[in-house]
Structure 1
Amino acid sequence: MKTHVKALVVGGGAVGTSIAYHLAKAGWSDVMLLERDELTSGSTWHAAGLLPYFNMSYATTHIHDYSIKYYKTLEEETGLNAGFFVVGNLRMAQSQARMDEYMLYATTAETCGVPYEWLSPAQIKERYPLVRTDDLKGAIYHPTDGYINPADVTMAMAKGARQRGVMIERRWQVDGYAWTGDHWDVTVTRMVEKGGNLVASDEQVVIHAEHVVTATGNHAQRTARLLGIKIPAIPVEHQYIVTEPDPALVEWRKTNPQHPVLRDADAKWYVREERGGWILGPYERNAPARFLYDVPDSFRADLFPLDLERIEEEYMSMIHRIPSSETVGLKDDFNGPICYTPDGNPLLGPAPGLRNMWLAEGFSFGITAAGGTGHYLAQLMVEGEAEIDMASLDPKRYGSWMTTEYAARKNEEAYEHVYILHHPDEERPACRPLRTGPAYDRQKALGAQFGCVNGFERPNYYGPLDAPDSFDHDARSFRRGGWWQYAVDEAKAVREGVGLIDATAFTKHRLTGPGATAFLDWFTCNKLPRVGRINLTYALTDHGTTRTEYTIVREGEDDYYLVSAGAWTAYDQDFLYKAIADKEEAFGRINAEDVTTRWGVFAIAGPKTRDVLNELVKDADPATVLSNKRFPWLTMRNIELGMCPVKAIRVAYTGELGWELHHPIEMQNYLWDRLMEAGAKHGMKLVGARAQNWLRQEKSYRAFGTELGRDATPLEADLPRFVDLDKDFHGKDRMIATGIRAKCCTLLIDGPDDADPWGREALYTADGTRVGRLTSGGYSVHFGKSIGMGYVKPELAVEGTKLKVRMFDRLWDATVTCDSPYDPGNETIRKDG
């Protein structure tokens, strides 16, 4: 065995072999793959091998698309047939809501170039007469995918990897990782078979690896312990059954091709042909999580007992949909562990807090994702960035607050939710509430309907007081849900009066020390603010794209308060702390501290904001505290509101006159009560995140995770005013060299009367040429129509350009408007008083 390698891949399933293959393909020599047992002996061997395109995530859709195309090339390269049956994928709908879901998904598919067709019930019946269609609304059909043999495709990738120089070693288990400062010392132990179990021998080797990738599947919790980190990847039982041959199917196949993979999402199952019979794979309720801490040594390529009672409902619905299956017996059954994560998406990217350690864990659709995972992770490792923004899959989207119990319960929920309606306004209930601000109970009593951001409860909107616990579920829709009018009223309140928003979930860091100023000047692309002032700026990737958005408040010469997106606390912290460690010797001592949970934040905004705050200001001359003279726009002042000291920042994400009130978290309820008392005199309305999202689009304020990300530079986001090209900063040269590949713009949309865009729709010219995609969408109370933001070809990002946006089953008119179409001169936000 070689003991010095460039990259060590741990795990020999489909994902691990793909990563090893693609690292070698990308030009890395000295790549080694270790498997503790045999290749495919984890979840790969008992996977059903389906290759579904369907996914609401832009990044994951690209990953699945690459896999499906890549698998078709393996036989020519390796001489091994990967067992790919391109039979297509028919996803049926029993309701109009399900068809709405498919139409929303289709817009994402279009932005990624994924082909699809629509079929009516009559067309389904004509093509596939064994399928009952009288209670269907229709279906979406993907002609280019189907199913594959998991073992065959893994072995084909393994052979392709070996042909490219990858060393594959079986029966070696990793027992320790130690970072030396420039490489990993990985202690591995030879595994031997004893009494049917796989046990460790006395033979150990230390492998020196510059990079390590873990693709350990069901063993992710053991990996987490060895690395001293948290990985919320825990398996859940997934069972499927294989029937005896169905005479009707056997007769059909004498003169007809295979059926596509059939999916009845409303019945929560998939079905495909298997040797004249059917495979039924349900996603039922109450499937338990397994191996919360360890996989027993006795569990190798093993299965759990079948629980037919648990899947009885899904089995009967298969008989309903394929009546000929009623008389056939069961031939085989499988109930094995499939790894999940709390949101169902894999954990793919750099490990938190570690150097050159990469995670590829939590693949619930591992066969579908394996090929694309290898391709895009290899780009991240070899080139520094992938061509698509991988942030939505980054392992650091879960912070240190995450526990084993949380992961297990959320993963069970993710399994059960595979076939539920994936509303864009979906909020899943398991493990909630968990992280709450002190004012949570007060807000709930006032009708708050909460969303979950990084585990934090945050009001999405304020609904009816008579049904606070049940309304949110009933309010969801692919169109304008029951919450829509509440959000409209909240947005109008900010534009016309005053509204109060809880923004406590914001990420907050404090940077101090003699090196802080020089470091931040290099780390971010805008000028640093003067003491007492703030600015908006961006930290860039090595490739010059946007890695993090910051509001920087300068409280002293070397004293900075950084505010960034609430959903990305661990993600931002990891990037910031690693950059400091790299540059502290050059710039001097820097103290960095995560103060997110120390400070609560209320944002108050609207023309009457001063009227409310003046009721509470304690000062020798309270009438002037909030005036432009004493408190100009884009400044910070320490003020007192009643007995609460407040770090007040004059900025408003809504584009109205307003302040962010950063306060000691332990005083939050006191401040809330005082604001509510003062606000009642001036008609103040409580406002949630959905109305705020609409309002920021009226101002063309970009949001991290939508308009801002690692696939676009700040210049492509059309933010040159926040980029100081007269100074040197990290990523500057690559940003300039990249140029403007696409450009961000705001569009006003003449859409349907009952729906608004969600921010994943494809954009077209009048002649039907696809030219871009939306990244955000919603409703504008100021313009009385739908609004969206997105990226188009640079020459089209000009005010007045006429475009089309795909919503549901047709194209709707859209017009590129000016930047900040509401109050482009910022007169309201600068209003004096």
Structure 2
Amino acid sequence: MKTQVKALIVGGGAVGTSIAYHLARAGWEDVMLIERDELTSGSTWHAAGLLPYFNMSYATTHIHDYSIKFYKTLEEETGLNAGFSVVGNLRMAQSKERMDEYMLYASTAETCGVPYEWMTPAQIKERWPLVNTDDLEGAIYHPTDGYINPADVTMAMAKGARQRGVMIERKWQADGFEWKGDHWDVTLTKMVEKGGNLVPSDEQIVVSAEHVVTASGNHAQRTARMLGIKMPAIPVEHQFIVTEPDAELVKYRQEGGEEHPVLRDADAKWYVREERGGWILGPYELNAPARFEYSVPDTFRADLFPLDLERIEEEYMSMIHRIPSTETVGLKDDYNGPICYTPDGNPLVGPAPGLRNMWLAEGFSFGITAAGGTGYYLAQLMVEGEAEIDMASLDPKRYSSNWMTTEFAARKNEEAYEHVYILHHPDEERPACRPLRTAPAYDRQKARGAQFGFVNGWERPNYFGPLDAPDSFDHDARSFRRGGWWEHTKAEAEAVRNGVGLIDATAFTKHVVKGPGATAFLDWFTCNKLPKVGRINLTYALTAMGTTRTEYTIVREAENQYYCVSAGAWTEYDADYLRKAAEEKAEEFGYIEIQDVTTQWGVFAIAGPKSRDVLNEVIKDADPATALSNKRFPWLSCREIELGMCPVKAIRVAYTGELGWELHHPIEMQNYLFDLLEKAGEKHGMKLVGARAQNWLRQEKSYRAFGNELGRDATPLEADLPRFVDLDKDFHGKDKLQETGVRSKCCTVLIDGPEDADPWGREVLYTEDGTRVGRLTSGGYSVHFGKSIGMGYVKPDLAVEGTKLKVKMFDTLWDATVTCDSPYDPKNETIRKDG
């Protein structure tokens, strides 16, 4: 057994073997995989082996698509049949709203090139007569997926890995990780059989690895403790049952009937597929408990939990309703095993927070579907520095260790399990473990009708609903079209355009970067010129591949002190990248100090033509009449001001594109400032405004958003932001930025869409002749133009004002026209308004 390797993978399930295979295929030698028991002995062995395409995430859809295509090639390469039954996947709908969900999902599928078909109830019945279609609205059908044997596909990937030089060692457990400055020393313990249990022996070795990948599945919490990090990967019980042969099914197949696709009745919360003349039923019921919140017992190996039939009675009866021939069929087998989850249902894939060359691949609730693609794209991250798709939505640091706890993860994972088949509204907000992080003004805003969204643990107002509405209003208001919230958001957006609005932006991520090396470091770290003292600049930190890693508003507070503001959803993601980069460059640039001050500063954004009037009511200054004038407080500058008794770091910038300021204030004084501004705003008609209205307004200004238009799959030049890139200086990622060129280009489109709906930012863009040419990354409604609006990427020659396109919404093509950049107030006259 080698004791020095390039990469060590911990975990021998489908995910781990795929990573080992793809690292070797990418050219890495000296790759070793260890497994504490036997390959597939974790959740892989009792997985149902389904390969569903359906996922609302762009990145995850690509991952699933790669897996499904890759698994079909394994037999030719390895000689092992992975047991892939390409029977298709039929996802049925009992309501028009469920069909709306499928049509929105189909947009994501289409942007990724995933094939699908629509089926009517009559078409389903004609093709698969055992299915009761009386109460169905229709279905979406994926003809190219199906199900696979989890053990067989894992063994095929393991053989392929071995053929490429990977060493696979069984019965070795990782018991310690120590970073030595340029490699990891991993302590491994030999596991032995004793009385039917697997126990550690006295035999230990240390393996030195330049890179380590953890794919430890149900053992993720033990792994996290050894690494000194937190990760919300905790298993939840998942049951499925296997029936005895169904006489009607056997007869149907004997008479030449084709095998049923994997059937999914989302409204009934289950999947069903054929199994040797019978059926497998897999429900996603309520009240499935989290397990192994701290560790997996040594006695638990390829074991199962007792079945709880009462918990799945409703789903079992609905299977009988959908497939009436199952009513008299007995049960043959049952499974109730742990399946790892995360709070949002997506896995944790990428670099571990605070650690170097430590990679996580944990929390796979659909591990067989995701294994192949995870190996492929994670290998790209490790070998090339970035993947060809933006993996940020799967990054482990989306759950910050500052607030994520075991209790939070366990309860949210239970919620994620029972939400597998709920209607996934784009405006969905899940209630478990909330409120958790609240700014001081939370109660005041809630009393004024605030309907909150969950952002990095924070409660942030999405919009302000009716004051007399019950707490359930937000849930009732959701829709795939214009929900009950839409009119409230429209009124808020109009208030900002015509009067004044106040937005709670406390969730913004905020860092102070200072010290003798701060200026040189930030000049290298970001691609735009640094601002002068007292001024601000918008800039980007790039990846090594020249794509956009983070967007910053940088305020230069002193010669070597900067206040950096970035997206609220990405605090630890930004902090980790910033700190690691500063550590790497400290010797070159000098001492750099980085402070995460996110929770020290609250933020209110005040915006609109009357915003200066409101602030003039409360500002304390020797000459209050001119304190906020262009001469004393120009656009894109920062000043320390006093509003009543509250000291404020005021930044003259507005994400809405109106005259406005961001008011960064000591968070302990937030309620005082809120009351002060609310009273001052009364005579000016000031309205409280949520994030959804702000999202609409920023699209009218073509302001790109990180995680939408800005990400690790596009450069700032492809985002059409050359004014924020200073090619006269050296900066991280510059060479690759220039090498890449402009493969696609961001633009803004105005859309003549349906009267009851707007795009969500997932839709496909076509030319007028029906050629697919791009996709939307943002969408909404423009109160200025009175129609739908969106932003997205198309081929560069089409990102020209006046280009006629089509956008697909609800399976219909609607007219869209590329407009100028910043179609509302393109000369920025409103923002610069003097007073």
What TM-score, normalized by structure 1, do the two folds share? 1.00
Residue in 1 aligned with 2:266? 265
1:613-692 aligned within 5 A: 613-692=615-694
Residue in 2 aligned with 1:57? 57
For 2:523 and 2:160, locate their aligned partners in 1 and report how far apart those are by CA, in whole Å. 46
Q: CA offset at residue 343 of structure 1? A: 0.3
Residue in 2 aligned with 1:799? 801
Output the amino acid matched with 1:225.
Answer: R
2:707 to 691, 705, 708: 705
For 1:680 and 1:152, locate their aligned partners in 2 and report how far apart those are by CA, in whole Å. 68
> 1:307 and 2:317 equivalent?
no
Q: CA offset at residue 600 of structure 1? A: 0.1
For 1:489 and 1:695, locate their aligned partners in 2 and report how far apart those are by CA, in whole Å. 12
Residue in 2 aligned with 1:71? 71
For 1:633 and 1:788, locate their aligned partners in 2 and report how far apart those are by CA, in whole Å. 27
Q: CA offset at residue 681 of structure 1? A: 1.3
Q: CA offset at residue 783 of structure 1? A: 0.2
Residue in 1 aligned with 2:234? 234
For 1:203 and 1:809, locate their aligned partners in 2 and report how far apart those are by CA, in whole Å. 62
For 2:518 and 2:383, locate their aligned partners in 1 and report how far apart those are by CA, in whole Å. 30
For 2:592 and 2:169, locate their aligned partners in 1 and report how far apart those are by CA, in whole Å. 44
For 2:220 and 2:10, locate their aligned partners in 1 and report how far apart those are by CA, in whole Å. 11
Once the two structures are superposed, what CA deviation does each residue of 1:295-336 show, in whole Å capped at 9, x if it has no partner? 001100000000000000000000000000000000000000
Residue in 2 aligned with 1:176? 176
1:381-400 aligned within 5 A: 381-400=382-401
Once the two structures are superposed, what CA deviation does each residue of 1:219-275 show, in whole Å capped at 9, x if it has no partner? 000000000000100000000000000000000111122100000000000000000
SS in structure 1 at match of 2:808: strand
> 1:101 and 2:89 equivalent?
no
Contact 1:444 1:468 in 2 (8 A): no
> 1:550 and 2:552 equivalent?
yes
Q: CA offset at residue 470 of structure 1? A: 1.1
Residue in 2 aligned with 1:414? 416
For 2:121 and 2:260, locate their aligned partners in 1 and report how far apart those are by CA, in whole Å. 16
For 2:731 and 2:580, locate their aligned partners in 1 and report how far apart those are by CA, in whole Å. 16
Residue in 2 aligned with 1:403? 405
For 2:231 and 2:518, locate their aligned partners in 1 and report how far apart those are by CA, in whole Å. 32
> 1:340 and 2:341 equivalent?
yes
For 2:410 and 2:434, locate their aligned partners in 1 and report how far apart those are by CA, in whole Å. 14
For 2:712 and 2:181, locate their aligned partners in 1 and report how far apart those are by CA, in whole Å. 27
Output the amino acid matched with 2:352.
Answer: A
Q: CA offset at residue 78 of structure 1? A: 0.3
Contact 1:447 1:468 in 2 (8 A): no
Residue in 2 aligned with 1:744? 746
SS in structure 1 at match of 2:390: coil
Once the two structures are superposed, what CA deviation does each residue of 1:498-549 show, in whole Å capped at 9, x if it has no partner? 0000000000000110100000000000000000000000000000000000
Q: CA offset at residue 467 of structure 1? A: 1.4
For 2:302 and 2:246, locate their aligned partners in 1 and report how far apart those are by CA, in whole Å. 29
Once the two structures are superposed, what CA deviation does each residue of 1:462-503 show, in whole Å capped at 9, x if it has no partner? 001111411000000000000000000000000000000000
RMSD: 0.4
1:747-766 aligned within 5 A: 747-766=749-768
Output the amino acid matched with 1:521.
Answer: D
SS in structure 2 at match of 1:148: coil
Residue in 2 aligned with 1:24? 24
For 1:470 and 1:134, locate their aligned partners in 2 and report how far apart those are by CA, in whole Å. 32
For 2:391 and 2:593, locate their aligned partners in 1 and report how far apart those are by CA, in whole Å. 29
Unaligned runs of 5+ in 1: none
Contact 1:85 1:147 in 2 (8 A): yes
1:383-532 aligned within 5 A: 383-400=384-401, 401-532=403-534
Q: CA offset at residue 409 of structure 1? A: 0.2
Q: CA offset at residue 726 of structure 1? A: 0.7
Output the amino acid matched with 2:269.
Answer: K
Once the two structures are superposed, what CA deviation does each residue of 1:559-587 show, in whole Å capped at 9, x if it has no partner? 10000000000000000000000001100
1:139-150 aligned within 5 A: 139-150=139-150
Output the amino acid matched with 1:703.
Answer: A
Residue in 1 aligned with 2:211? 211
SS in structure 2 at match of 1:740: coil
Output the amino acid matched with 2:151.
Answer: A
For 1:496 and 1:425, locate their aligned partners in 2 and report how far apart those are by CA, in whole Å. 26
Unaligned runs of 5+ in 2: none
Output the amino acid matched with 2:244.
Answer: E
For 2:469 and 2:199, locate their aligned partners in 1 and report how far apart those are by CA, in whole Å. 57
Residue in 2 aligned with 1:378? 379
> 1:249 and 2:249 equivalent?
yes
Output the amino acid matched with 2:314.
Answer: E
Contact 1:283 1:415 in 2 (8 A): yes
SS in structure 1 at match of 2:625: helix
Once the two structures are superposed, what CA deviation does each residue of 1:684-721 show, in whole Å capped at 9, x if it has no partner? 00000000000000000000000000000000000000
Contact 1:449 1:468 in 2 (8 A): no
Q: Between the two proteins, what is the percent identity of the paired residues? A: 87
Residue in 2 aligned with 1:602? 604
Relative distance call for 1:673 and 1:697 in structure 2 (3 A) is: same
Residue in 1 aligned with 2:188? 188
For 1:639 and 1:554, locate their aligned partners in 2 and report how far apart those are by CA, in whole Å. 16
Residue in 2 aligned with 1:152? 152
Contact 1:756 1:786 in 2 (8 A): yes
For 1:246 and 1:442, locate their aligned partners in 2 and report how far apart those are by CA, in whole Å. 60
> 1:790 and 2:787 equivalent?
no
Contact 1:550 1:563 in 2 (8 A): yes
Contact 1:448 1:468 in 2 (8 A): no
SS in structure 2 at match of 1:444: helix
For 1:552 and 1:91, locate their aligned partners in 2 and report how far apart those are by CA, in whole Å. 47
For 1:724 and 1:17, locate their aligned partners in 2 and report how far apart those are by CA, in whole Å. 43
For 1:582 and 1:377, locate their aligned partners in 2 and report how far apart those are by CA, in whole Å. 23
Contact 1:37 1:191 in 2 (8 A): yes
Residue in 1 aligned with 2:112? 112
For 1:711 and 1:475, locate their aligned partners in 2 and report how far apart those are by CA, in whole Å. 34
For 1:55 and 1:148, locate their aligned partners in 2 and report how far apart those are by CA, in whole Å. 19
For 2:475 and 2:585, locate their aligned partners in 1 and report how far apart those are by CA, in whole Å. 48
Output the amino acid matched with 2:631.
Answer: K
For 1:460 and 1:736, locate their aligned partners in 2 and report how far apart those are by CA, in whole Å. 38
What TM-score, normalized by structure 2, do the two folds share? 1.00
2:542 to 540, 543, 551: 540
Output the amino acid matched with 1:233.
Answer: A
Contact 1:526 1:722 in 2 (8 A): yes
> 1:581 and 2:579 equivalent?
no
For 1:153 and 1:491, locate their aligned partners in 2 and report how far apart those are by CA, in whole Å. 52
Contact 1:543 1:735 in 2 (8 A): yes
For 2:516 and 2:603, locate their aligned partners in 1 and report how far apart those are by CA, in whole Å. 28
Residue in 1 aligned with 2:200? 200
For 1:815 and 1:88, locate their aligned partners in 2 and report how far apart those are by CA, in whole Å. 37
Once the two structures are superposed, what CA deviation does each residue of 1:793-824 show, in whole Å capped at 9, x if it has no partner? 00000000000001012110000000000000
Residue in 2 aligned with 1:296? 297
Residue in 2 aligned with 1:161? 161
Once the two structures are superposed, what CA deviation does each residue of 1:82-136 show, in whole Å capped at 9, x if it has no partner? 0000000000000000000000000100000000000000000000100000100
